[in-house]
Amino acid sequence: MKLGTSAIIGGTLFALAIFVGLFAPWLAHTDPVMGANLMNAEEPPSWTWWFGTDAQGRDIYSRVVHGARISLTVGIVSQLVNSVIGVTLGLTAGYWGGWWDDVVNGLTNLMLAIPSLIFALAIMAVLGPGLTSLLIALGLTNWSFTCRIARASTLSLKSQGYVQAARVLGYGDLRIMITQLLPNMVGPIIVIGTLGMGGAVLAEASLSFLGLGIRPPYPSWGSMLSEARDQITTAPWLSVFPGLAIFLTVLGLNLLGDGLRDVLDPQSRSRRA
């Protein structure tokens, strides 16, 4: 298994983001919410204030660092929920076929027809802002690609000798799905999941920017951008650093996803062979 350059660069960026998120309390200079001090309001970036400060004198660097926690939690958890839903639906639909397959296909098509951000927006409008609502809204609206891939993989794997053999050896349906089918489709599922995680980070930023996600004063990258909106010309650092954090994280996840695809996805592997 050889990782390409894009997987390595992407992996490094993502690992860096995870590291920052995990160790945020130690990396931050001040408390991201309470550390306001009007004496230091709107300082541009300097040796003391690496990323500058905002109108209330809060350290932007500390807020970006803490924002990583929220943005990554939303990205990872919501994508995990999506993956679990997508795999469960796609695998069972492909395996059992029949009316269940029709139902899942209908649902998938519906999800694909509605832009997932619009759908998430609607859910957020009902549930109200907050971390839990974000996780629910983003976790329920982006499983259709995973579902498609899981279903297609199941259909092609179902005729494999080892799946037939498992049936002959007395495996039940559930055991076949878990031991024979699932492990043989993890590659493409991980690829889709990685790309989806990038999408979720962006979606969180968008929803928070619109005031529907994480609300100020809590620092998610999206909510920081939202707050910085009015000072984009007077204090550009308020927008630049959270924007850069989003950009690098999403870029990292996309590079990682593309790089993993080359290694893990058997289809693109055979295409190259």
Partner 1 sequence: MTAAPLIEVEDLRIDLDDGARHVAAVEGVSFRIDRGETFGLVGESGCGKSITALALIGLLRRPLSVAAGAIRFEGREIQGLSAAEQRALRGNRIAMIFQEPMTALNPVSPVGRQIAEMFVLHKGKSWREANQLAVEALANVRVPAPERRVKDYPHQLSGGMRQRVMIAIALACDPDLLIADEPTTALDVTVQAEIIELMRNLCAERGTAILMISHDLGLVANVCRRVGVMYAGRIVEERGSDDIFRACAHPYTQGLVDSLPRLGSRAALGRSRLREIAGVVPAIADFPSGCRFNPRCAQATEICRTTAPETTWLGAGGLVRCHHHA
User: Looking at this protein, which amino acid is placed at residue 148?
Assistant: R
Position 175 contacts partner 1 (CB under 8 A)? yes
Q: Retrieve residue 244's tokens.
A: 């850069």
Nearest-angstrom CA–CA distance, 164 and 202: 42
- CB-based contact 264:188 (threshold 8 Å): yes
Among 34, 39, 126, 168, binds partner 1 (CB under 8 A): 168
Position 169 contacts partner 1 (CB under 8 A)? yes
Up-side HSE of residue 106: CA atoms within 13 Å toward CB? Answer: 7
- Residue 80, number of CB atoms within 10 A of its CB: 16
Nearest-angstrom CA–CA distance, 234 and 270: 53
- φ, ψ for residue 53, nearest 5 deg: -130, 165
Span of 12-20, 43-51, 167-175, 231-239 interacting with partner 1 by CB under 8 A: 167-175
Position 162 contacts partner 1 (CB under 8 A)? yes
Minimum gap (Å) between residue 171 Cβ and partner 1: 7
Minimum gap (Å) between residue 193 Cβ and partner 1: 18
- Nearer to partner 1 by Cβ, of 45 and 266: the residue is 266
Span 184-243, contacts to partner 1 by CB under 8 A: 184
SS3 for 185? coil
Position 56 contacts partner 1 (CB under 8 A)? no
Among 48, 109, 160, 267, binds partner 1 (CB under 8 A): 160
Return residues touching partner 1 (CB under 8 A).
Answer: 160-162, 164-172, 175, 179-180, 183-184
